[in-house]
């Protein structure tokens, strides 16, 4: 038995295989952000911007909404990359960044709804928006989970949930820039609430895909 253990130790110490260090979580999240920005730009090139884009950007709450939504994407991306490490890369506080971003986003939506004194007409379609967001979010979700799979995260549920929230944020950004729709009620019901549902699904997928 002792000979076997000594032989194992000798084999491990003589192994010249060089392990490639994991990238810093901030660099990993930056890669996701840059890739997602390029993906979003390409998607908009193929789909086109909403025809009233020059008019709608005059609405300050629309711009603030987009900025806050992008903030959610950045915060969830950074948090997901940190959750890939067992010790959260000793940046536990930054891991909670999505919480204040979601609070800010809710505040923005509230003010946008309050400023809509003459509520915009509800579009005739409903679940189609959710379907489109999921389709556009699919590729970002795949590459994020693929990246996280390379790590040995012990926070796999939360990492999976935030990864899907990050991906669905890209889909939601695309749809707000593509769809001619100014109904806050519709946007909340068929754009943003489904994002939360997707996040809960990510908790389940994280346990299946990211657990080692």
**Which pLDDT score is estimated for 23?**
78
For the chain, what is the domain count?
Answer: 1
* Beta-carbon contacts of residue 8 (< 8 Å; ≥ 6 apart): none
Residue at 6 is within a domain: no
Residue at 182 is within a domain: yes
User: What gap in Å lies between CA 26 and CA 31, rounded to an integer?
Assistant: 9
**Which pLDDT score is estimated for 8?**
53
Residue 54: domain span: 29-116+124-210
Residue at 170 is within a domain: yes
* HEC-encoded secondary structure of the chain: CHHHHHHHHHHHHHCCCCCCCCCCHHHHHHHHHHHHHHHHHHHHHHHCCCCCHHHHCCCHHHHHHHHHHHHHHHHHHHHHHHHCCCCHHHCHHHHCCHHHHHHHHHHHHHHHHHHCCCCCCCCCCCHHHHHHHHHHHHHHHHHHHHHHHCCCCCCHHHHHHHHHHHHHHHHHHHHHHHCCCCCHHHHHHHHHHHHHHHHHHHHHHHHHHHCC
Residue at 9 is within a domain: no
Residue at 100 is within a domain: yes
**Which pLDDT score is estimated for 126?**
81
The helix or strand, by DSSP H or E, that contains position 67, with its residue range, turns out to be helix 60-83
Residue at 19 is within a domain: no
Residue at 24 is within a domain: no
**pTM score, whole prediction:** 0.87
Where the chain has pLDDT below 70, the residues are 1-20, 117-120
Backbone angles phi, psi at 107, to 5 degrees: -65, -40
């Amino acid at each position: 038995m002792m000979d076997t253990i000594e032989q194992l130790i000798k084999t491990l110490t003589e192994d010249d295989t060089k392990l490639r260090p994991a990238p810093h979580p901030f660099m990993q999240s930056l890669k996701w952000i840059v890739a997602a920005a390029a993906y979003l730009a390409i998607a908009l090139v193929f789909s086109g911007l909403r025809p009233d884009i020059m008019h709608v950007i005059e609405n300050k709450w629309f711009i603030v909404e987009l900025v806050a939504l992008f903030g959610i994407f950045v915060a969830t991306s950074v948090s997901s990359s940190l959750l890939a490490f067992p010790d959260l890369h000793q940046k536990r506080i930054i891991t909670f960044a999505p919480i204040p971003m979601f609070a800010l986003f809710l505040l923005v939506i509230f003010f946008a709804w309050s400023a809509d004194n003459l509520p915009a007409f509800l579009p005739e379609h409903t679940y189609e928006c959710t379907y489109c967001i999921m389709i556009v979010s699919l590729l970002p979700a795949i590459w994020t989970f693929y990246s996280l799979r390379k790590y040995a995260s012990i926070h796999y549920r939360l990492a999976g949930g935030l990864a899907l929230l990050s991906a669905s944020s890209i889909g939601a950004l695309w749809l707000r820039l593509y769809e001619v729709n100014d109904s806050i009620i519709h946007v909340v019901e068929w754009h943003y609430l489904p994002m939360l549902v997707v996040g809960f699904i990510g908790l389940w997928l994280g346990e299946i895909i990211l657990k080692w």
